[in-house]
Amino acid sequence: MIWNEPKECMSRDERTAEQSQRLKETVNRVYHNVAFYRKKMQELGLEPGDIKGIEDIHKLPFTTKNDLRENYPFGLFAVPKSEIVRVHASSGTTGKPIVVGYTRKDIDLFSEVVARAYCCAGATKDDIVQIAYGYGLFTGGLGMHYGAEKLGAAVVPISGGNTEKQLALMQDFGSTILACTPSYAAFLSEAIEEAGIDKNQLQLKAGIFGAEPWSNEMRAKIEEGLGITAYDIYGLSEIIGPGVSCSCYVQEGLHVAEDHFYPEILDPETLKAVTPGTTGELVFTTITKEGMPLLRYRTRDLASLNYDACACGRTNVRMSKIQGRSDDMLIIRGVNVFPSQVESALLEIEEAKPHYMLIVDRVGTMDTLEIQVEIDDRYFSDEMVELNKVRQKIKHKVESILGISVNINLVEHKTIARSEGKAKRVIDRRKI
């Protein structure tokens, strides 16, 4: 079933006409309501009237994570604060998170695109959806929750973690759809096996997994382990959260909700459009959002677009699975981590030097993060107790900024290799 056939199955001509109209409205809105965009457009000598349709999108300025950071927390909102009904936040490149705001209409549109994703995965109002994405500032839990309610399914808002309870409720309630990160899905499938639960006795039929990169091999493993069909859902807080795109039963790419989020693929170096089908950086313009519309937001995610017809009947463009990033962001246990966040934490600690190395690994299905930190000679000690105090202090600071647990490994000054060019700060040993 298709959730919103008129919107998901439009002809390309209708689509372009609608996108053009919506882009013009958005440009007008941000020009008149967001000082940041007015200034950027003025610097380019652009007025809203210069944007005549979607073909003019390349004239518009870009937006980056840094722009969000500089306008922290509410500087990019395009409506008075009284119109905002919810905020979410996600990791920034330093200590401060980036913040996004939604009007009531934005929440409706968020729920709409997530309902489409559930439908893509074959879910209906008869399903029981177990949501094991984190609830809170992260868009995953609440985003998937509102979408499932819009669909009319029964939601089990268990949030992430607490594996024993996940398994108990999955059996007792007969959950039919599981929504969580792919790594947690893999972890649950192992836990099911270890607990001696027969997967064929579970009612689960599909999973909607995203928020981190995963491969088709991983998909096959999860499908086998849980006895389900697994679907990919993509999104980012800046644009809406989950539901920017999702895969259908054809499993050849993710349909973009392009009546709301207009995608471009650009060469990350030249910022020029690549030839269709080529991998480059995904850039999105929100064309219906009210609270915090963004023009040409550089996601740093690498993917390609495919405009061919899809056997499922939806006509909206498909993006490939995410192939990587054009920056150094890592996703560890579903949480976005920038090496620069670690650096800004260390700079606040007297005993630590800003020389560090992140070592990411996957033990079984669980990501681990070890951080090697050089400490100042003055504080290096033979006393375990003293060193432990320093370690705890660093661990506490880093964990409070990253939001995940880490192992801190203290090393002596000048242990970590210095580089003459771009410092190598990360060793990622995971096989995704």
Q: Is 90 in the site for ligand DLL (CB under 6 A)?
A: yes
Nearer to ligand DLL, 259 or 301 (CB): 301
Min dist. Cβ of residue 35 to ligand DLL (A): 24
Of residues 292 and 349, the one with the C-beta less far from ligand DLL: 292
Per-residue burial over 125-155, b = 16 or more CB atoms within 10 Å of its CB, e = otherwise: eebbbbbbbbbebbbbbbbbbbbbbbbebbb
Evaluate whether 70 touches 320 at the Cβ level (below 8 Å): no
By CB under 6 A, tell whether 286 contacts ligand DLL. Answer: no
Choice from 71, 237, 304, 365 touching ligand DLL (CB under 6 A): 237
241 scored as a contact of ligand DLL (CB under 6 A): yes
Beta 261-266 vs 254-256: how paired, if at all?
Answer: unpaired
349 binds ligand DLL (CB under 6 A): no
Decide: is 232 part of the binding site for ligand DLL (CB under 6 A): yes
Residue 118 or 234 having the CB closest to ligand DLL: 234
Residue facing ligand DLL at closest CB distance: 210
Q: Which of residues 194-213 bind ligand DLL (CB under 6 A)?
A: 210-213
In whole angstroms, the minimum distance from the beta carbon of 238 to ligand DLL comes to 7
Token pair for 47: 């007025």
DSSP string, 209-278: EESS---HHHHHHHHHHHTSEEEEEEEETTTTEEEEEEE-TT-SSEEE-TTTEEEEEE-TTT-PBPPTT-
- Smallest gap from Cβ 429 to ligand DLL, in A, equals 19
Kindly state whether residue 280 participates in binding ligand DLL, applying the rule CB under 6 A: no
Region binding ligand DLL by CB under 6 A among candidate stretches 26-34, 78-86, 134-142, 388-396: 134-142
Task: Determine which residue in the list 68, 236, 294, 346 makes contact with ligand DLL, applying CB under 6 A.
Answer: 236
Task: Check binding of 187 to ligand DLL (CB under 6 A).
Answer: no
Q: How far is the CB of 244 from ligand DLL (least distance, A)?
A: 8
Question: How many other C-beta atoms are found inside a 10 Å radius of the C-beta of residue 160?
Answer: 20
Residues 203/175, Cβ–Cβ less than 8 Å: yes
Our finding on whether 242 is near ligand DLL (CB under 6 A) is: yes
- The piece of 66-74, 226-234, 368-376, 413-421 that touches ligand DLL (CB under 6 A) is 226-234
By three-state DSSP, how is residue 401 classified?
helix
CB closer to ligand DLL, 300 vs 353: 300
> Of the candidates 146, 231, 234, 338, which one interacts with ligand DLL according to CB under 6 A?
234
Distance CA 305, CA 3 (A): 22
Q: Which is nearer to ligand DLL, 135 or 380 (CB)?
A: 135
Buried b (16+ CB within 10 A) or exposed e, 360-387: bebeebebbbebbbbbeeebbeeeeeeb
Q: Does the protein bind ligand DLL through residue 294 (CB under 6 A)?
A: no
Q: Give whichever of 90 and 286 is closer to ligand DLL, judged by the CB atom.
A: 90
**Residue 210 CB, nearest distance to ligand DLL (Å)?**
3
* CA 395/CA 370 separation, integer angstroms: 10
Specify the residue, 207 or 241, whose C-beta has the smaller distance to ligand DLL.
241
Amino acid at residue number 73: P
Q: Tell me which residue has tokens 């560890």.
A: 332
Alpha carbon 276 to its chain centroid, in Å, reads 24
First vs last C-alpha separation in the chain: 31
The answer to the question of residue 114 lying near ligand DLL (CB under 6 A) is no
For ligand DLL, the closer CB: 225 or 241: 241
Helix, strand, or coil (residue 381): coil
Residue ranges in 36-75 that form contacts with ligand DLL under rule CB under 6 A: none
The gap from C-alpha 146 to its chain's centroid, in whole angstroms, comes to 17
CB atoms within 10 A of CB 388: 12
- Tell whether residue 140 is a contact of ligand DLL (CB under 6 A): yes
Residues that bind ligand DLL (CB under 6 A): 90, 133, 138-140, 210-213, 232-237, 241-242, 299, 301, 322, 331, 336
